Structure 1
Amino acid sequence: MTRRRLRTVLLLAMLAAATCAGAAQRALLVGVSELVNQPASLWLQAPRNDVMLMREALLKQGFAATDITVVADGVSGAALPEAQRIHEALGRLLEQSQSGDFVLLYFSGHGTRWRDASKRYQEPDGLAENFLARDVRGAVGGSGALPGGLRDVDFDGWVQAFLARNVFVWSVFDTCSAASMTRGRAPASAEVVVGPPDDEVRFRGIRADLLAQGAAGASAAAPTAPAAPAVPRARYVAFFASESHQVTPELRLPRKGRDAQPQGLLTWAVAEALQRRPATWRELFDGVLALYPPVISELEARFPQRELPSPVAEGNLDAPLFANGPQPLGTRPVWRAQRSGASLAIQAGQLDGLVPRQEMRVLASLEDGTRRSAAAVLAQLDPAGAQLPVPAALRDVPGSALWSVTPLAEPAAFALRVRADKPLPAGLSFDYPASIRLARAGEDGSEADLRWTDLGPAGHRLELLSPALGTGTGQVAADPAALRERLQGFARLKWLGELNRLAGGARLDGFEAALETWRADRMLRSEPLARSATPGPLLAGERRVLRVRNTGGTSLDMVIVGIDPEGGLRPVYPDASGASNRFERGTRELPAAKHFELPWLAGPGARLFVLATPAAPHSAPRLFGAGVDPALADLRVRGQLGAPKERQVFAAMIFF
C-alpha cells in the first residue's frame, strides 16, 4: 500500500471513529439450550456456552458489561429465553438505542423451516425460517405461526426498526436454516446427537412437524416486531451459520484443545477471528471462513451422508468494525488468497474484472493483528481464477497468516471512454471494475463509447457512440447530478456487456431462466433466456415476469440487473435491501424457483442481465462487479476460495 493510500484508509477510520464518539455499543445475546416442551433428546448443550464466549469476545472489543444483555438458560442471572421475553428484550434495546449507536443481535440455538401463510413475501422454497425459543410448541397443520418460534419476518422487522433509528445492526445467527432468518427443500433432520459422549456432535435443526404440541393452556404467541419505515441497509451486516437448507453443528472446540467445550462452530470461529483485530466486517468474515475447512473436513469423514454448513454473510461488509459509519473503508474488492510455497491463488478471474499482468496489493494478516502488505503482478489468469507470486517482502510471513489480494486500480480495458472538452464531473461512484476515462485528445470519436457536451443552462448532452450502450441520437441530463447518474449507469452497463461476452456460451446444469408474459393472473407465453435475445413488444395489459429455477443440486451465486429505458440500473437480485445473492440449492424433486416482477422492463432501450454460477463452499457470495446500489457496499463482495477451476456459468443479456 502506498503512503497516500495508507493515509486515506487511516483518515477514513478516524472519521468513522469520530462519527461514533459518544455513541453506545450494545448487544443482546440469546442462547436456547433447553426446549422445555420437547423431548430432552432434542436439547442442545452449547448455546449457554456460546453466549458467554460472545460476551467475553465483546468485552475484549471494548463493550461495557452493562451494555451486554444475556437471555439464556443455564446462565446465572440471565432471563430465560422464552419467546415473549426475547421480544421484550429486543423492545428494551430498541428503546435505549439512539442515532449513531451500534447493536449486536445474536442468537444461538435450534432453527427450523415452517410453512407460514402470514408471510409478507415469498421465498424460493415458500417456507419461513424460525428460531426456536425455550417454550416452542408444535402446531396442528402446515400453516400459520409456530408457537414459541421467532419468525424470519419478525427478525427482519426488528432489524428494520433499529435501522430506522440510524443504528448500525450486526446480526449473528448460529442456527440451522440460518441464511434466510432475516428474509423470510428438505427440512432439517431430527437427528441432533451423534458421536461418542466425550465428543458429541449435535446438529441445530429440527423438522417442525416433529415438534410436540406441548402442555395445554400455554401462553399465546409472542408479539410481532414494531412497524418501521423502510430505509436503505447501509448500516447492516449479518453472519449466518448455514445456508437455508443446511444444518450447522455444535461440538467441542477448539478441536483437541485441553479446555475444549461444546460450542457452535460459527460462534467459536467469530470469537477466534476477532483476536486478529480485523478492520472491516469482510476481514472478520474471511477470518471465520479460514477456520472452517479443518473442522468441516473432519466432520465430512465422520458423517459422509450429511451436507455440512457453508456460512453466509450479507450487508455492508466493507464498513469499519463495531462502528456506525456507513462509508466503506475501501471500494475495491478484496479476495481471500491461499498460499502454496511462493505462489498465491485466488478464486477470482476475468469474470470478476481482472486483466492479464494486473498490479495487485497483497496483504498478510498475522495472528496478533499485525498487517504487512506489498505489491505483486498477476502471473496467471483464467475466467474463474488467478495466481500471483508472493512478494519478496512477504516471503518470511509465517504459515498462520491469512492472505488477501485487492486490485490497485480499475482496469482501463473495461472503462467507459468519454469524449469531452472538459474534466469529468466530481462525485462519480462505481462498483469495481466499472470506471470512466476521458478519451485522449485527438482520438477519433468512433473509438470512444460516448460524447459529453456541456450545454450550459440547457443541461448536458450525451451522444452514444458505441452500439453496446444502445441506439439513438442521444440524451440530455438536466443537471450535474443527473449527468453523474447517467455516466455511472453507462459505465456499469459497459461492464455488464463485457461480462456477458466473457461468460461466452457456457451453460449451467440444472439452471433455467425464462421470460414470461402475463395478463392479470394468466401466463400467455414463456420464452427461455438465450445469451442474447430481443423479445417482441408487449400488448396492452401485458407485463413481463422473469422466472428462475435451480435443480442442479448446489446453491448458486446469482445476479440479475435491469436497465430501464432511461438508462437507470435496477437491482433485481439481490434487491436493494442488502440481502446476499446466494440462491438456494434445488433438486429435480424439490426445485428452488422464484419469480421477479419487472414493471419497468418495457420500451426501447430496456435491458435485462442474468448471471449465475455454482456457489463455492465456505465462500462469500460472488457478484462479479454487477452491484448497482452505491449505498450498499455488500454489492462489492467477490469470489473466495473453494470453487472448482473449471466453473459452469449461465449468462444472458436481453435487449428490448
Structure 2
Amino acid sequence: MMFRLPRWFGAVLLLLAVALPAWSTQRALLVGVSELVNQPQALWLQAPRNDVTLMREVLLKQGFGAAEITVLADGVSGAALPDAQRIHEALGRLLEQSKSGDFVLLYFSGHGTRLRDAGKRYQEPDGLAENFLARDVRGTVGTDAALAGGVRDVDFDGWVQAFLARNVFVWSVFDTCSATSMTRGATATPATAEGPQQDEVRWRGVRAAQLRSVAGEPPASTLVAPAARATARARYVAFFASESHQVTPELRLPRQSRNARPQGLLTWAVAEALQRRPATWRELFDGVLAVYPPVIDELAQRFPTRELPSPVAEGNLDAPLFENSAGALSTRPVWRAQRAGGVLTLAIGQLDGLVPQQPVRVLATLEDGTVRAAPAQLSQLGLGHAQVGLPDSLRELSASTLWRISPLAEPSSLALRVLAEAPLPAGLSLEYPASILATDARAQADVRWVDLGAAGQRLEVLSPDLGGANASAVIADAAAARRRLETLARLKWFGRLQALASGAQFDGFEARFEVWQGDRLVRGEAAQRADTGPLPLRAGERAVLSVRNGSGQSLNLVIVGIDAGGTVRPVYPGDLGETNRFEQGTREQPAAKRFELPWFDAPGSRLLVLAAPAAAYSGPRLFGAGPQQDAISDFRVRGQLRAEEQRQVFAAMVRWGGGDAATAR
C-alpha cells in the first residue's frame, strides 16, 4: 500500500526550507609551535603542543565537532607541522569553508617577536610590528623587512577582515608575546628555561637579533591574506597573552598538581575560566584575569627583575559566547570587583560614570557557573575607585567566588535633561553613562524640544556648556533630530569627564595639536586641560593630534570628537575592534603616534583626549567615551581590577576656534 502525501505538504516543506536559516558551523584552527627547527634549541618551547591539545579538549566540550578543528603542531599525533606555508594554506581552507553565520577560532601558541616593518600601512606607536614565529623561521631578510618564516600582524589582520567580510564571527587567541629588550633597548634577558628542571619556566618572546639566518631557499614570507572589503568589527574578539613590551611564561600547570604539565599561562587560564560557564566574552576574560594573580605572585617572587605579563582583550566583548551575534548580551556595564572582608573594591569610579550612593547590583559567580545577585549601594567613591558593602545574603560565599558590580540604571544627574511637551523620539541609542531624561522644569533643562508637526522639530540649547545658551535649530528629519539629542547627551558627559579630571597631573604624557601643510610642520601647541582651541587653520593646512607617552606605563587612552555637524568621530580607538591600550614608553624612547583630524576644520568641532595609566590584569576601560557602532548600540564601559587611592589622569576638551582666533574657548 502506497501512502500519498497531500499536495500542500510539499509546499510547506519548501516554505520551511526557505524560511529557516542553514545551520551555522563552529570551526577552529589551532597552531602550536614548540620547535624552531632552524634555530638553536635553547629558543625552543615545550608547552605549545600541550596548549593545542588542551584547547582541542575544551572546544569539544563546548560543542565543536572534531572534524571542524584543524591542528598544526609539532609533537601532536596526527597533526601537520606548523610551517609558515601550511599555516597560510590552513587559513585559506578555513576561509573557503566558512559561510555567513559561522564562528571561527584562530588560535596561536608559540614565540613572538617585534621588528621594524617599513611595508606596514598602520605604524604602531613604538614603530615596531609583531610577528608570530612559524616552525621554519630563518631570521630577517634585509633591512626593515618581515621575517622569513614569520607571520606578520598585518597578515593576521587581513585574514580577520576576510572572515568578517563573510559575516563570520572571529575569536583570535595569541598565547605569545614580544621581547621587552627589543622594544625598549634594555639589557637582553634570555628566552631560555629558568629554574629547576622539574619546575622550570620558559618565556615566550625572542629578539629578532637572536634568530639565526640560514642559508638556502627561505620559507615563504610574503604570503598574505586575500583582499577583502573593510568590515566593522562587530563580530570580532581577541585575547592576547601580554602587552606589546612584555613576555609571557609557560610553566607546569596547575601548580602543585601531580598531573601538571607545561602550559602557556593564557591557554590554561582560558580553559579554567570556561568551567564557570561564562555567558559573554567579557565574563570569560574576567575569569581569565581572576586566574592570573596567584601564578603571577609566585613568579614575581622567583623572578623579581622581570616585568610579568598582563593579558589584553579587544573587540565586542559583550557579545554572547561562541555565537555569531553582533548584539550585546548585557544591557548594563559589569565591572570586576575584589573582596576584602565585607567590602568589595572596584578600580573604576567617577571617570567611568559612577555617582555617590549609586544603587548597584552585586553579582557572585560560583565555581560551577551559578550566579547569585543582590542589591547594594556605593559606600565610597573617587575618580578611579569605588567600594560597595557586601550584601548580607552573599557573605557566606567562598573565597573562590568571582565578584562583579553592575549599575541598576544610568545616573540621572549625568543625563541630558530635555524640556518637551511631547514624548521624546523612539530609538535613542546611547552608551553608558550618557542618557536622556524628560523634565518639566525649564530651570533644570539642558535642551528644549518642540514638535512642529510637518515642519519638523526645534531644538533649543539652554545650557551654555553645550555650545551656548538659546542656540536653536529646526530639524526637519526625525532621525537627524534623534541623533542630535544623542550627540548633546554625549557632549554633556564629555564635559563632565573634562571637569572631573581638571588639574590632574600626569607626568610623561603629552598631547599636542600640530598644523601641517603637506609634509611640512607649520606650528604646534599643547592641548591644554581646558576648553581651549588651537590656532585657526589657514588655506591648505590640516590639523593633526600628536600623542607621546613617556610615562613608563601603558595607558588607557580615549580620543573622541564631535564634528561641526554633530557626528561623533572616534579617533582612538578607531573602532570597537581595537584595543585602547596605548603602548608603554619612556622619556628617552616615548611611544608616539599622530592622528589625522580631517573633520576638525569648522567652528563647533570638539575633541576630548582622556588618558590614565592602565592597571595590570584589567579589562578595557573606555570612560564612557569610546567608539560606538550602530550594530552594537548597547556597548558598555568596563573598568579595572585594582583600586588606587590616587590616579594620574590627563584630560583636555578642545574646541576648534574657526577663522577668528578670538573665538577660541
Normalised TM-score (structure 1): 0.94
The residue that corresponds to 2:105 in the other structure is 104
How far apart, CA to CA, are the structure 2 residues paired with 1:635 and 1:189?
Answer: 40
Q: 3-state SS of the aligned residue for 1:645?
A: coil
How far apart, CA to CA, are the structure 2 residues paired with 1:649 and 1:396?
Answer: 37
1:110-138 deviation per Cα after TM superposition (whole angstroms, max 9, x unaligned): 00001111111111011110000001011
Residue number among 428, 445, 450 corresponding to 2:447 in the alignment? 450
Compute the displacement of 1:19 (Å).
Answer: 10
1:196-247 deviation per Cα after TM superposition (whole angstroms, max 9, x unaligned): 1111111111111221112312333251011100111110000000001111
How far apart, CA to CA, are the structure 1 residues paired with 2:217 and 2:625?
Answer: 53
Contact conserved, 1:615 with 1:621, CA < 8 A, in 2? no
Contact conserved, 2:237 with 2:316, CA < 8 A, in 1? yes
Contact conserved, 2:84 with 2:219, CA < 8 A, in 1? no
Q: 3-state SS of the aligned residue for 1:474?
A: strand
The residue that corresponds to 2:299 in the other structure is 299
Consecutive unaligned residues of structure 2, counting only runs of 5 or more, are 1-18, 657-665
1:241-284 deviation per Cα after TM superposition (whole angstroms, max 9, x unaligned): 00011110000011111100000000000000000000000000
Structure 1 residues 633 and 447: alpha-carbon distance in aligned structure 2, compared to 1, 3 A threshold: closer
Residue type matched to 2:500 in 1?
A: L
1:501-557 deviation per Cα after TM superposition (whole angstroms, max 9, x unaligned): 111210211101111111111111110111111223211011110001011111000
Alignment of 1:149-188 (within 5 A): 149-177=150-178, 185-186=184-185
How far apart, CA to CA, are the structure 2 residues paired with 1:391 and 1:489?
Answer: 37
Residue 386 of structure 2 is aligned to residue 386 of structure 1: yes
Q: Aligned-pair RMSD on alpha carbons? A: 1.8
Compute the displacement of 1:140 (Å).
Answer: 4.2
The residue that corresponds to 1:332 in the other structure is 332
Residue type matched to 2:112 in 1?
A: G
Structure 1 residues 157 and 140: alpha-carbon distance in aligned structure 2, compared to 1, 3 A threshold: closer
The residue that corresponds to 2:46 in the other structure is 45
In our comparison, the structure showing a higher alpha carbon Rg is 2
Contact conserved, 1:129 with 1:178, CA < 8 A, in 2? no
The residue that corresponds to 1:506 in the other structure is 504
How far apart, CA to CA, are the structure 1 residues paired with 2:164 and 2:190?
Answer: 36
Residue type matched to 1:137 in 2?
A: R
How far apart, CA to CA, are the structure 2 residues paired with 1:20 and 1:247?
Answer: 44
1:34-88 deviation per Cα after TM superposition (whole angstroms, max 9, x unaligned): 0011001100000000000001111111111111110111101111000110011
Residue type matched to 1:488 in 2?
A: E
Compute the displacement of 1:476 (Å).
Answer: 3.4
Contact conserved, 2:432 with 2:637, CA < 8 A, in 1? no
Residue 554 of structure 2 is aligned to residue 555 of structure 1: yes
How far apart, CA to CA, are the structure 1 residues paired with 2:589 and 2:262?
Answer: 34
Residue number among 481, 484, 494 corresponding to 2:482 in the alignment? 484
The residue that corresponds to 1:238 in the other structure is 238
How far apart, CA to CA, are the structure 1 residues paired with 2:20 and 2:50?
Answer: 34
Residue type matched to 2:618 in 1?
A: S
Structure 1 residues 81 and 637: alpha-carbon distance in aligned structure 2, compared to 1, 3 A threshold: farther
Contact conserved, 1:137 with 1:211, CA < 8 A, in 2? yes
How far apart, CA to CA, are the structure 1 residues paired with 2:378 and 2:576?
Answer: 35
Compute the displacement of 1:485 (Å).
Answer: 1.4
Q: 3-state SS of the aligned residue for 1:158?
A: helix
Contact conserved, 1:83 with 1:222, CA < 8 A, in 2? no
How far apart, CA to CA, are the structure 2 residues paired with 1:478 and 1:91?
Answer: 49
Number of aligned residues = 631
Compute the displacement of 1:639 (Å).
Answer: 1.8
Consecutive unaligned residues of structure 1, counting only runs of 5 or more, are 1-17, 180-184
The residue that corresponds to 1:575 in the other structure is 574
Structure 1 residues 108 and 178: alpha-carbon distance in aligned structure 2, compared to 1, 3 A threshold: farther
Residue 395 of structure 2 is aligned to residue 398 of structure 1: no
The residue that corresponds to 1:3 in the other structure is none
How far apart, CA to CA, are the structure 1 residues paired with 2:517 and 2:157?
Answer: 32
How far apart, CA to CA, are the structure 1 residues paired with 2:121 and 2:190?
Answer: 28
The residue that corresponds to 1:468 in the other structure is 465
Structure 1 residues 186 and 234: alpha-carbon distance in aligned structure 2, compared to 1, 3 A threshold: farther
Structure 1 residues 178 and 422: alpha-carbon distance in aligned structure 2, compared to 1, 3 A threshold: farther
The residue that corresponds to 1:127 in the other structure is 128
Compute the displacement of 1:637 (Å).
Answer: 4.0
Residue type matched to 2:211 in 1?
A: L
How far apart, CA to CA, are the structure 1 residues paired with 2:21 and 2:399?
Answer: 36
The residue that corresponds to 2:525 in the other structure is 527
How far apart, CA to CA, are the structure 2 residues paired with 1:563 and 1:192?
Answer: 50
Identity, in percent, stands at 69
Q: 3-state SS of the aligned residue for 1:372?
A: strand
Compute the displacement of 1:641 (Å).
Answer: 1.4
Q: 3-state SS of the aligned residue for 1:59?
A: helix
The residue that corresponds to 2:60 in the other structure is 59
Contact conserved, 1:243 with 1:312, CA < 8 A, in 2? yes
